[in-house]
């Protein structure tokens, strides 16, 4: 076979893969989503239950694992493919439902539509994704295969046209591929949106022989899990993008920098690398060409600042992850001082897709300035939380209300926090804003890596700003004075405000000024964006700050020091003791008249009694400012 | 924290076994630290001294790395490791309340271990189960919707013979022996 072209070799690989995968097409398969999120919700129990039930009944069905489908709200999720039926996905699966499905569907032929979530192929019985609003707005490209193929089986990826782009690229000149990426205007998905093609070009043109390709999977934002999900669900897509990039640069080795907090992602990527080596897709003379390239995993150690490219390099070199001044850019002098291309997981994922489908396909999605799609981890006060992929330019409104299906419990929308600790909070008036790199920046937030938290009327904006500041303050590496001390001072100010120790309204002006100074006086993006949560909340929710300072009142009833729990005598049923039993500090007592009351001295504001009070009474309420309690009790007496 | 009997020898031999596999290069510092912690569960001062000796760098550089990165801990973990999720979604619905409750009951602060080494308490950035918020991970079992009452229940359940409450037998990594081997490097301290 030696001497044949990469494309010929690929055809053979694909034929083999198809044969292997196709051999299960006429069998019943139960696919269980076992990414970290699925496992946390109980996917392993579900998997074992299926195995047990199937074995007990002597059925021929297989139980296999897939990654994440993105519908996290309905975990654990499964898909059942039975010949003669469309593939059907079921959500909220537990052991009972497993029994039911095995009895009714696997043994007999009743798919139990009442428990089904969605069908995967068009059919006459049950709606598919495109019949739901979410399916209409979503455009799954890089998430397309996530949750539908076995991430630990390279043949499944190859059978779905995986590594075809690599074979094609190996037949082309490297500069032709570079030209495609540049024309597609692929912008880095790590947050800043720097054009990937320009980065690659600079590194390519550098005369230095030794070059590196690094994938940044150090996803440190709390509440963001897009990269983890992709690595756990379809790791080969990332590898293929990296190999193509290496070919363009002429790099011989590359690294995937993955957080060690993602053990499952590390494991699946490690397996993917091994399988790619076995197939001759990594290592010496890839697919029979003269191109050599190999990949290794480097595990990050949990420092948010290492998401910053120069800090990441520094940590790979065995030093503390502190950013350095740029220029020189990494594409000129990066890992070990050599030209290095560092891109985000998602950026690499788009590369094979652009090669396969063409530049026009890519630029037609999204907006002219930000082509392609955006992947978000949609969480917080939203009905259908999960991983979503929408074209750039989709409005926040569509994302929250159509894709996410709105807020639970009929609560009023207050804000979206977009971009994690570096992003900002945007109010209702910004809901029409299209999502792309530039519009968000104008509104004061950033695209960031794609965390999107929906906040409702019960969320205090000052507390949110404080939460993110606590995070960035702790994660500041300490190199720049403004970031190191500035974030600390801002945090102290916010703490004073949220605990009712701040009386001067003028503090807000100082806070604003300091925030702008920290932005200007920091070397890297951590300091440069850390004040964003403060700046945006000051811009859009100043009234909440004022209420905290002037009235010592938390409008959202969230800041512990500014609220008090109170049992309304009118609503309290004397006969029920739920609250008394629920209190961990014995602060609730029965008054002489049989009603319950809270000893404010002992109360730790744990919210237990409010949850415990039966829905027919709902006698426990939160009051802010706390002095209201005395007022009410005073009146009573 | 004082070393117990026999721990000194264990540390020296474990570190020796691990460093043996590596070239003495500065680039290997982070992987070595990760592996040592994976073995011992934490980074005792003695281990850091041995690593510094091996790489021929000042001990303070190793200490600097160990304190810079969130993954590393300088105290031995408890028999049961309690990790309270402080991701955005958890924080918004009472992650701090769960943390306060643990601190109150165990009489330790976040990042510490109880004197009898039974429980250690720490915060993690995000376990990625935002829909179950607030989430607490005890050893490898994810507990969702944790209220202060649940905190009491959890501690009671684990305090006796380390018995796991029946309703939450949701093993994140249950019965995956083949995977456990490759996971050892990251084990022990998967969440910072």
Task: Please spell the DSSP secondary structure of A522-560, one letter per residue.
Answer: -SSHHHHHTTHHHHHHHHH-HHHHHIIIII---TTS--G
Inspect the interface and report whether the beta carbons of A45 and B87 lie closer than 8 Å: no
Nearest CA to CA, how far is B13 from chain A (Å)? Answer: 23
Residue A65: pLDDT above 70?
yes
Residues of chain A with Cβ-Cβ distance to B187 below 8 Å are: 263
Range list for CATH 3.10.20.600 in chain A: 373-459
Residues of chain A with Cβ-Cβ distance to B62 below 8 Å are: none
CB-based contact, B166 to chain A, within 8 Å: no
CB-based contact, A222 to chain B, within 8 Å: yes
Fold of B7-68: Arc Repressor Mutant, subunit A (1.10.10)
Out of B100, B131, B179, closest to residue A604 by CB: B100
Nearest CA to CA, how far is A7 from chain B (Å)? Answer: 34
Q: Helix B45-55 to helix B59-68 angle, to the nearest 10 degrees?
A: 120
Query: pLDDT tens across A25-38, in order?
Result: 778 999 999 887 78
Q: Under 8 Å CB-to-CB from B12, ≥6 apart: which residues?
A: B46, B50
Comparing alpha-carbon positions, the chain A residue that sits nearest to B61 is A319
User: Which of A38-47, A334-343, A417-426, A574-583 is predicted most confidently?
Assistant: A334-343
For the residues A201-216, what does the mean pLDDT come to?
Answer: 95
Q: Under 8 Å CB-to-CB from A633, ≥6 apart: which residues?
A: none
Range list for CATH 3.40.50.11540 in chain A: 162-361
CB-based contact, B125 to chain A, within 8 Å: yes
A contact residues 405-424, partner B, Cβ 8 Å cutoff: 417, 420
Comparing alpha-carbon positions, the chain B residue that sits nearest to A299 is B31
Query: pLDDT tens across A421-439, in order?
Result: 888 899 999 899 898 888 8
Fold of A373-459: Ubiquitin-like (UB roll) (3.10.20)
Query: pLDDT tens across A595-618, in order?
Result: 999 999 999 888 889 988 999 999
Instruction: Provide the pLDDT for residue B185.
Output: 39
User: Which of A387-396, B81-90, B124-133 is predicted most confidently?
Assistant: A387-396
Q: Under 8 Å CB-to-CB from A232, ≥6 apart: which residues?
A: A35, A36, A67, A68, A151, A262, A264, A265, A268
CATH 1.20.1250.20, applies to A22-129: no
Residue A318: pLDDT above 50?
yes
Lowest mean pLDDT among A14-18, A271-275, A360-364, B112-116: B112-116
A contact residues 55-114, partner B, Cβ 8 Å cutoff: 72-73, 75
What integer best gives the mean pLDDT of chain A? Answer: 91
HEC profile of chain B = CCCCCCHHHHHHHHHHHHHCCCCCCHHHHHHHHHHHHHHHCCCCHHHHHHHHHHHCCCHHHHHHHHHHCCCCCCCCCCCEEEEEECCHHHHHCCHHHHHHHHHHHHCCCCCCECCCCCEEEEEECCCCCHHHCCCEEECCEEECCCCHHHHHHHHHHHHCCCCCCHHHCCECCCCCHHHHHHHHHHCCCCCC
Quote the distance between the C-alpha of residue A482 and its chain's center: 29
Instruction: Provide the pLDDT for residue A636.
Output: 54
Q: Confidence band (pLDDT; 50, 70, 90) for B182?
A: very low
Please tell me whether residue A318 adopts helix, strand or coil conformation.
coil
Fold of A563-636: Alpha-Beta Plaits (3.30.70)
pLDDT exceeding 90 applies to what percent of chain A?
Answer: 64
B contact residues 22-41, partner A, Cβ 8 Å cutoff: 25-31, 33-34
Out of B27, B101, B130, closest to residue A318 by CB: B27
Instruction: Provide the pLDDT for residue A277.
Output: 96
Lowest mean pLDDT among A125-129, A208-212, A283-287: A125-129
Q: Report the candidate in A302, A213, A216 with the shortest Cα–Cα distance to residue B33.
A: A302
Instruction: Provide the pLDDT for residue A3.
Output: 55
Inspect the interface and report whether the beta carbons of A316 and B27 lie closer than 8 Å: yes
For the residues A186-198, what does the mean pLDDT come to?
Answer: 88
Evaluate whether B7-68 and B80-171 have a shared fold: no
Comparing alpha-carbon positions, the chain A residue that sits nearest to B29 is A318
CB-based contact, A542 to chain B, within 8 Å: no
Q: Helix A263-278 to helix A235-249 angle, to the nearest 10 degrees?
A: 60
Inspect the interface and report whether the beta carbons of A582 and B149 lie closer than 8 Å: yes
Q: Residue A563 and residue A627: Cα distance in Å, rounded?
A: 9
CB atoms within 10 A of CB B91: 26
CATH code for residues A162-361: 3.40.50.11540
* Token code pair at residue A198: 């320009």
Q: Confidence band (pLDDT; 50, 70, 90) for A582?
A: confident
Residues of chain B with Cβ-Cβ distance to A225 below 8 Å are: 126, 128
CB-based contact, B145 to chain A, within 8 Å: no
Residue B191: pLDDT above 70?
no
Residues of chain B with Cβ-Cβ distance to A607 below 8 Å are: 94, 97, 147-148
Classify burial at A368, counting beta carbons within 10 Å of its beta carbon; exposed 0-12, middle 13-18, buried 19 or more: exposed
CB-based contact, B18 to chain A, within 8 Å: no
| Strand pairing report for A212-217 and A253-259 | parallel
Comparing alpha-carbon positions, the chain B residue that sits nearest to A313 is B27
CATH 3.30.2450.30, applies to A462-551: no
A contact residues 236-265, partner B, Cβ 8 Å cutoff: 260-261, 263
For chain B, what are the domain ranges?
A: 7-68, 80-171
Inspect the interface and report whether the beta carbons of A606 and B152 lie closer than 8 Å: no
Residues of chain B with Cβ-Cβ distance to A584 below 8 Å are: 101, 104, 148-149, 151-152
Instruction: Provide the pLDDT for residue B183.
Output: 41
Comparing alpha-carbon positions, the chain B residue that sits nearest to A262 is B190
Q: Residue B7 and residue A536: Cα distance in Å, rounded?
A: 52
CB atoms within 10 A of CB A208: 12
Instruction: Provide the pLDDT for residue B175.
Output: 38
Query: pLDDT tens across A83-107, in order?
Result: 888 899 999 999 999 999 999 999 9
Beta bridge partners of B185: none
Q: How many CA atoms lie within 13 A of A479 on its CB side?
A: 18
End-to-end CA distance of chain B: 20
For the residues A168-193, what does the mean pLDDT come to?
Answer: 92
A597 versus B178: which is more confidently predicted?
A597
For the residues A272-298, what does the mean pLDDT come to?
Answer: 95
Instruction: Provide the pLDDT for residue A497.
Output: 96
In chain A, what is the greatest distance between 2 CA atoms, to the nearest angstrom? 97
Exposure class string for B55-66: b at 16+ Cβ within 10 A, else e: bebeeebbbebb
Omega into A341 within 30° of 0, i.e. cis? Answer: no
Q: Confidence band (pLDDT; 50, 70, 90) for B27?
A: very high
Q: Position of tokens 């891109």?
A: A343
Superfamily (CATH H level) for B80-171? Glutaredoxin (3.40.30.10)
Out of A319, A459, A604, closest to residue B92 by CB: A459
Residue B41: pLDDT above 70?
yes
Nearest CA to CA, how far is A274 from chain B (Å)? Answer: 13
Range list for CATH 3.40.30.10 in chain A: 22-129
Lowest mean pLDDT among A230-234, A330-334, A437-441: A437-441
Inspect the interface and report whether the beta carbons of B130 and A315 lie closer than 8 Å: no
């Amino acid at each position: 076979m030696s001497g044949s072209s990469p494309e010929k070799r690929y055809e053979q690989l694909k034929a083999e893969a198809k044969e292997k995968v196709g051999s299960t097409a006429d069998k019943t398969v139960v696919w269980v989503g076992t990414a970290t999120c699925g496992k946390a919700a109980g996917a392993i129990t579900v998997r074992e239950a299926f195995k047990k039930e199937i074995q007990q009944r002597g059925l021929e069905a297989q139980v296999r694992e897939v990654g994440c489908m993105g519908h996290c709200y309905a975990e654990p999720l499964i898909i059942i493919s039975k010949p003669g039926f469309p593939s059907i996905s079921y959500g909220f699966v537990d052991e009972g439902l497993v029994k039911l499905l095995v009895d009714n569907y696997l043994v007999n032929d009743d798919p139990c539509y009442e428990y089904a979530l969605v069908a995967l192929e068009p059919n006459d019985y049950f709606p598919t994704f495109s019949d739901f609003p979410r399916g209409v707005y979503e455009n799954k490209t890089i998430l397309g295969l996530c949750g539908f193929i076995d991430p630990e089986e390279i043949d499944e990826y190859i059978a779905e046209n995986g590594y075809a782009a690599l074979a094609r690229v190996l037949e082309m000149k490297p500069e032709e591929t570079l030209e495609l990426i540049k024309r597609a205007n692929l912008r880095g998905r790590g947050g800043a949106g720097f054009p990937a093609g320009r980065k690659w070009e600079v590194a390519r043109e550098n005369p230095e022989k030794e070059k590196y390709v690094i994938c940044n999977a150090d996803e440190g934002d709390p509440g963001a899990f897009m990269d983890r999900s992709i690595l756990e669900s379809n790791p080969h897509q990332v590898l293929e993008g990296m190999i193509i990039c290496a070919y363009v640069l002429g790099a011989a080795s590359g690294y995937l920098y993955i957080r060690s907090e993602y053990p499952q992602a590390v494991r699946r990527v490690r397996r993917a690398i091994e399988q790619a080596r076995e197939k001759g897709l990594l290592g010496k003379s890839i697919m029979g060409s003269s191109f050599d390239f190999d990949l290794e995993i480097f595990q990050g150690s949990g420092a948010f600042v290492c998401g910053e490219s120069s800090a990441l390099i520094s940590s790979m070199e065995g030093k503390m992850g502190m950013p350095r001044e740029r220029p020189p850019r990494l594409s000129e002098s990066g890992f070990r001082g050599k030209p290095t291309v560092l891109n985000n997981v998602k950026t690499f994922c788009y590369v094979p897709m652009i090669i396969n489908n063409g530049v026009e396909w890519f630029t037609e999605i999204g907006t002219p300035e930000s082509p392609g799609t955006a992947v978000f981890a949609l969480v917080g006060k939203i009905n259908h939380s999960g991983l979503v992929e929408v074209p750039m330019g989709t409005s926040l409104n569509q994302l929250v209300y159509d894709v996410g299906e709105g807020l639970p419990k009929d609560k009023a929308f207050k804000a979206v926090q977009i971009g994690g600790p570096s992003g900002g909070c945007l109010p209702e008036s910004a809901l029409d804003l299209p999502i792309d790199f530039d519009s968000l920046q104008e509104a004061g937030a950033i695209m960031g890596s794609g965390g999107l938290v929906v906040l409702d009327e019960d969320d205090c904006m000052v507390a949110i700003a404080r939460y993110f500041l606590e995070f960035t303050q702790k994660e500041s590496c300490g190199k720049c004075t403004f970031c190191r001390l500035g974030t600390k001072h801002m945090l102290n100010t916010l703490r004073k405000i949220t605990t009712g120790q701040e009386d001067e309204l003028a503090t807000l002006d100082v806070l604003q000024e300091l925030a702008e100074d920290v932005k200007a006086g920091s070397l890297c993006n951590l300091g440069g964006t850390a004040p964003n949560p403060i700046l945006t909340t000051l811009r859009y929710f100043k009234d909440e700050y004022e209420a905290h300072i002037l009235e010592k009142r938390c409008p959202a009833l969230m800041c512990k020091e500014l609220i008090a729990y109170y049992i309304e005598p009118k609503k309290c049923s004397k006969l029920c003791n739920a609250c008394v039993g629920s209190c961990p500090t014995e602060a609730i007592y029965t008054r002489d008249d049989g009603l319950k009351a809270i000893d404010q001295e002992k109360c730790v504001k744990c919210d237990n009694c409010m949850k415990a009070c039966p829905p027919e009474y709902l006698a426990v309420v939160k009051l802010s400012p706390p002095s209201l309690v005395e007022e009410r009790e005073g009146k009573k007496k | 924290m004082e070393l117990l009997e026999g721990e000194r020898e264990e540390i020296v031999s474990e570190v020796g076994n691990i460093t043996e596999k590596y070239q003495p290069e500065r680039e290997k510092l982070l992987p070595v630290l990760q592996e040592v912690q994976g073995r011992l569960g934490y980074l005792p001062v003695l281990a850091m001294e041995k690593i510094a000796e091996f790489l021929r760098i000042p001990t303070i550089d190793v200490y600097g790395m160990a304190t810079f990165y969130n993954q590393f801990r300088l105290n031995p973990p408890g028999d049961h490791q309690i990790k309270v999720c402080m991701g955005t979604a958890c924080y918004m619905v009472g992650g701090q309340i769960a943390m306060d409750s643990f601190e109150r009951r165990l009489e330790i602060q976040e990042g510490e271990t109880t004197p009898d080494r039974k429980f250690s308490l720490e915060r993690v950035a995000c376990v990625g189960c935002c829909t179950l918020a607030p989430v607490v991970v005890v050893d490898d079992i994810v507990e969702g919707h944790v209220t202060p009452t649940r905190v009491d229940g959890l501690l009671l359940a684990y305090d006796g013979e380390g018995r796991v409450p029946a309703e939450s037998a949701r093993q994140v990594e249950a019965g995956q022996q083949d995977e456990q081997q490759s996971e050892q490097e990251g084990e022990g301290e998967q969440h910072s």
